[in-house]
Amino acid sequence: MELLGDITPDRPLLVLAVKEEAQFLDTSLPVLLTGIGKVNAATALATTLARGPRPAGVVNLGTAGALRAGWTGTHVVGTVVQHDLDGEALARLTTGETFGAPISLPDGGDVVLATGDAFISDETSRARLAEQAPLVDMEGYALAFAAELAGVPLRMVKHVSDEAGAGADRTWREAVAACSRELADWAAVHIPAYRL
């Protein structure tokens, strides 16, 4: 976890997983680098929000793998789901309490993002997940959950880095610089007070 800049109540906090995704950001806004995965993302954002001051909102910028053919470009996420948590099985073990329900983001569209710690590296997993969502990442759901619990608005923007499946880890490393530039360009246009 690394926080770059000072959080103030009148400006949003930019949240990204790793420095490679943030390399082209040119902003005076605070930037939180959480690390990869749900635990790192949730812990970093929850800790930062608890320490205060709270930002005006959180904007998560990051890369995502495409689960469906033809998905490219930058997308504002409307719903996040966990693909590696069996909420139905957990509900059967308890008093029927729901765990890991989908989270709707108020500023999002109709794009669904599946989040999980498992790296999607085979076509069977990719095909199964594609039934739920067109995009997959490793932090989105955790960030949405932490922001929702803290009562801080969240906007989530993902740029497609690769097609999830075999060889995606190599493709991500090759594509991350171009994705970072696209995310920085999106932020410069769509985030108020990006540069002061």
Which has the closest alpha carbon to 57: 154, 192, 129, 126?
154
Place of tokens 């960030």: 143
CATH 3.40.50.1580: does it fit domain 2-190? yes
Residue 167 scores a pLDDT above 70: no
| 73-101 per-position pLDDT tens digit | 999 999 999 976 555 654 456 666 656 78
Q: Kindly report the CA angle at 58 between 52 and 64, in degrees rounded to 5? A: 135
The top-scoring range by mean pLDDT among 104-118, 130-144, 159-173 is 130-144
- Per-domain residue ranges of the chain: 2-190
| 170-187 per-position pLDDT tens digit | 577 788 999 999 999 999
Residue 196 scores a pLDDT above 60: no
Radius of gyration of the chain (CA): 16
The values of phi and psi at residue 98, to 5°, are -85, 135
- What confidence score (pLDDT) does residue 169 get? 56
Share of the chain above pLDDT 90, in %: 69
d(CA 127, CA 67): 7
| 28-45 per-position pLDDT tens digit | 999 999 999 999 999 999
- What confidence score (pLDDT) does residue 90 get? 47
